[in-house]
A and B are shown apart, each in its own frame.
Chain A
Amino acid sequence: MSEVETVARPIDLTRLYKALFLAVIATFVVVPLLATVLGGFKSLGELRVNPFGLPQQWEWANYADILLSKRYWELLRNSMIISTLTVTLTLIVASMAAFAFAHVKFFGSSMLLGYLTLGLLFPAATAVLPLFIKVRDLGLLDTYFGVALPQVAFALAMSILLLRRFFKDLPHELLEAALIDGCSYFNFFRYVTLPLSRPILATVGTIAFVNSWNAYLLPLVMLNSDSLYPWPLGIMVYQGEYSSEWHLILAFITLTILPTIVVFIIAQKHIIAGLTAGAVKG
C-alpha cells in the first residue's frame, strides 16, 4: 500500500502543477477578452467600479445602438469587399503563376521564381511611401483596388510557393494522359488541377483573408474617405471620437471581432492548419 502511495503522489503533484500552470495561462488569455465583452454591457459608471465582474444591470442598448447603426455595417461591408477582392485575385494570379512554374521549365524560370520569393524578405512597410506615390499616380488612391492590389502583390510570394509545391506533387500521369487525349494546358489547369487542389487553395485563401481582414497600415495610407474604411480603421476613428466612453468602445470592439471569433470556432481546424502550414511550408 505505502509503495503505491509514494509512486502515485509525485505523479499527482506534477499533474497538479501542470493544471495550475495551464489555468494561469488560460486566465491570462481569457480575462482581457471576457472583460471586453462584459464591459460592453455595463454603464460607464459601473465599468469604473466593477471592470471584472458580471454587469449588475445589463445595458443591452450599448450593443443594440451599434448594431442598428449604419456605420458598423458599412465598416464590415468595406472589409468584406477588400478581403474578397484580395483573396480572389491572389488565388487566380498565384495559382496561374504556380501552375506555369510547376510545369514549364524554360531558360530563367528558376530565376523568375527566385525573383518572386524576394517578397518574403521584407515587410510592406519598408516601401510604403513609394507605394503610396505609385498608387496615387495610378489614380487608385481612395479606392478598394488601391488597397487590394498591393495586398495581392505582397501575398503572391508565399502563395505561389505553397501552390507550386502542391501542383508538383499531384500525380504526373494525370497531365500526361490528359495531354495525349488532346486536353489543353488551360483546360487541364481549370478542370483537373484546380479541383484537385482545394485543400491548398483553402490554405492560401485563409492566409490571404486573415491578413487582409486584419490589415491596418495599407488601408490607413491608401484610403481617405470614411465611407471606404475597413473595420480596423473605423474602430480607431470610433475610439478617437468616444475617447473615454469605454463601455461603448468595448461594445464596438466586441462586435467587430465577433465575426473573426465565430469563423474561427466554425473553421478552426482549417484556420490553424492554414496559418501554421503557411508558416512552416512557406
Chain B
Amino acid sequence: MNEEINKKKIEVIDATKIFGKNSKRAAQLLKESMSKKDILKATGATVGVNNATFDVYEGEIFVIMGLSGSGKSTLVRLLNRLIEPTLGRILLDGEDIVQMSKEQLREVRRKKIGMVFQNFALFPHKTIIENTEYGLEIQGVPRNDRSAKAQESLKLVGLAGYEEQYPSQLSGGMQQRVGLARALANDPDILLMDEAFSALDPLIRKDMQNELLQLHNDMGKTIIFITHDLDEALRIGDRIALMKDGEIVQIGTPEEILMSPSNEYVERFVEDVDLSKVLTAGHIMKKADTVKIDRGPRVALRLMKQLGISSIYVVDKSNRLLGAVTAQDALQATESDQSLEKVLTTNLPMVSPDTVLTELFDIVSTAVVPVAVISEDQKLQGIIIRGALIGALSGDNQFINSDGTIDSMNQTSTEVI
C-alpha cells in the first residue's frame, strides 16, 4: 500500500481477446464502439477482454476482480499467452510477449511466470514432490537439484513431510499449498493466481491469504491475483482492477475503490462491503491537540481553555506520546506549582494506525479520553473520537481520510505563542 514509485513489471496495452471465428470483423466493430451484445449478434464472436490497459509494478499484489463471465480469467491467461490475445501488446520487463516465438515464450513461462489454478490442477499420477518439481523437471534440471529446490518450496508452504503422498490423499487447502509450492519452485518473478483460494472453505481461505501475504512479504514477488470475492480483493490487494463485461471499469487501491467508486457499477459492487473490516484507525483519526511536556501546566491549561476541551495529550520534543493531562489535574499542578510530569495520566488507550475498526469498538467505547493513534516509534499520529467512528461506518466521506493519513498534519499547530 506504500506509495513508493516502483518499476513497471508488466504493461498491458489495449489487450483484447475475441473468441470465435469472426474475430477480425468483431475487432473492427469493437473499435467502432459497438457493445458486446451487438457484436455477438452481428458476428457470433464473443468479446472476452475488451481493451484492457494497465500496469503492474514490481513487487505488488495486483488483484483483478470481477464476477464470473467478466473476463478476468481470460485476462490473466493473456499474460502468459495460455490464451492468445487478438489485439494489443503485453510487455513483460519491456519485452512484448505477444511477439515472442514459441521458444521464447516457453522460456518466459519456465523462468519468469508461475501459475496457480483454481482447482489446483495437480497431476494425480505424480507424488507431491514430483508435482512440485515438475517445472524444474521439464527444464532438465538434474534430479538432486530439483528435488532439493522442491523440498525447500514445500517447506515454505508448510508441507514438509508430505513428499511421497499423492494429491488425492491431501485436503483441498493442502493441495493448493502444493499448487503454490509448484509455482514457487521455479523461482519466478511473477505469480499468476487464478481464483487460487476460491475453492477453499472460508477459514482455510483466510489462512491461505495470510500465508500468501507473509510469503509476499518475505519474497517480494509480483503477484497477480484473480478473485470474484471483494473481501479477498480488499484484504490482499495493493491495487485492484475491477472488471465488468470484459472491460476494466476501475483501477485503484482498495481505499480508492471503496471511497470513490468511478461509476454506478463499482458503487453497487462495493455497497455491501463491511466498512468496519476495511477502514482502519488511520482512516478516521483526527488531528490531535497536544502540548509539549516542557511547556508546563499553565500552558496546557490555557490551551484546553482555548480549545474548549477537558484533557490534552502531552508529547515530547519529537512528538512521542508521553501521556495526557486533564484540566483538573493541570489546575492542581498550577496551584501547587508542580511540573506536568507529576500529574500525567499514562495508561492511555492506544492503537496503531492500521487497526481495523472492528477491533476499535471495544477500546473506544470504554475509553474516557479519545483513543490515541500512535506509530511504531511511539509518535502520536492522531486521535479517534466516537463521532468519527460512527460517521465513518455510515459511509460518510467527511469522516474518512482518503489515504489513511491526516492531510497536512502539522505537529506544532497547537502551540501557544
Q: Do A and B come from one complex?
A: no
Residues of A within 8 A of B (CB): none
